[in-house]
Amino acid sequence: MSGSDSSCDFHSGELSQFLIQVECPTEPIEIYEEIGRGPFSVCFLCRKKKKLQFFCIKGIDKSLKDEIANETRLLKQLDHPNIEKFSDWYETANHIWQIVELCAGKDLYALLQSDKNLPERSIHAFSSDVREALFYLHEQGIIYCDLRPKTILFDNIGTMKLCDFKHSIRTSEVKPEPVDVRLKLSDIKYLAPELLRPHQLMNLNLQLPPDLVAIERKRQQQQQFEGEPGFNLNDPQLAFPFSFQSDLWAFGCLFYEMAEGRPPFEGETQEEIVHNILTQEPIEVRNIFGVRYQYSSLKPS
């Protein structure tokens, strides 16, 4: 995790409790320094003594216990060079601790803040890393849901790694959510239009993808069988669920930002950003690889 503008309610005594749980007498752990801090987490650079094996320890506030449980469940099943490697997790009084791969190159957000738009060679390499990670997740039946510059890390040789799977879901778990919930979950500049527009306000010819229709039909049948209430897809408060398509929309936004130095949809306020995503076409991206990329193909027809 990068950045230090917020503070996690962290106490050094809990770090000691964690080390007691995890430390092996034959492989003691040395903690070097704090390398990142956010509203709900703190990260430390660590090493196993007598070895050149560096890694990261994340202490995460237990208020996110459900999200961390979801993330841990998914990460245990994943193994890909463009996804942050997960090793183990532990629990103390107020925090959950994750042992993960050290990504020493910070995140894409920091790089874009410093360099703005990137050279073509870098765009090609970085896009390839993110694409491979997304395709792998989709093959595993997982929707990432939160693709944005702050969830993409670099290792020490410049390879991109997806991190932060707190909001990721399997296709069997997708469901519509109220639009106001969506606005609290993620950086809205990378959300696809269908994730922000209530169903009854849809003036686009947009349909649920066939795989999600089948999943929802099966869910409704199961809920009826078990006597549980289902949700109404015509509820005016609900937006469409996350999907493989919404992941690809976010990927297109990232590509655009790497080329242009800014997201395709911006605004002074959250409301203005939402309005622009729903109504505006992004400006055509500059010439990359000899081709002018247009993002209108990502818009629902």
Give the end of a domain, one of 69, 100, 131: 100
pTM of the complete model:
0.75
Do residues 62 and 136 both lie within one domain? no
Structural domain containing residue 144: 105-301
pLDDT of residue 211: 54
Does 113 lie in the same domain as 93?
no
Which of 47-61, 143-157, 205-219 is the least confident region? 205-219
Write the pLDDT tens digit of every residue in 247-294: 999 999 999 999 999 999 999 888 888 888 888 877 666 555 444 444
Token pair 């590509």 in the structure block, residue: 255
Dmax over CA atoms of the chain, in Å, equals 64
Residues 79 and 113 in one domain: no
In a domain, 242, yes or no: yes
pLDDT in tens, 99-112: 888 888 789 999 99
Nearest residue to 160 via CA among 173, 174, 147, 170: 147
Residue at a domain's end among 73, 100, 127: 100
pLDDT of residue 299: 40
Q: In whole angstroms, give the CA distance from residue 256 to residue 43.
A: 30
Residue 42's CATH number = 3.30.200.20
Same domain assignment for residues 112 and 258: yes
Q: Are residues 61 and 116 in the same domain?
A: no
132 against 213, higher pLDDT: 132
State whether 54 and 179 are in the same domain.
no
Residue 210: both structure tokens together: 């066939």
Same domain, 70 and 126: no
Residue numbers annotated as active site: 146
pLDDT in tens, 15-27: 555 555 555 544 6
Q: Residue 68: its pLDDT value, please?
A: 87
Query: Which of 78, 100, 122 is a domain's end point?
Result: 100
Domain assignment present for residue 5? The answer is: no
Please provide the DSSP assignment of 149-196 as one string. Answer: GGGEEE-TTS-EEE---TT-EEGGG---EEHHHHHHHS-GGG--GGGT
Q: 4 lies in a domain?
A: no
63, 43, 61, 45: which is closest to 53 by C-alpha?
45
Q: Count how many domains the chain has.
A: 2
- Cβ atoms of 134 and 147 within 8 Å: the answer is yes
- 94 in the same domain as 137: no
pLDDT higher than threshold 80 for residue 298 = no
- One DSSP character per residue, 33-93 reads EEEEE-SSEEEEEEEETTTTEEEEEEEEEGGGHHHHHHHHHHHTT---TTBPPEEEEEE-S
Task: Give residue-wise pLDDT tens across range 190-240.
Answer: 998 888 765 433 333 334 445 545 555 555 555 444 444 455 555 656 677
pLDDT at residue 201, as a whole number: 38
Same domain, 237 and 257: yes
Tell whether 204 is covered by a domain.
yes
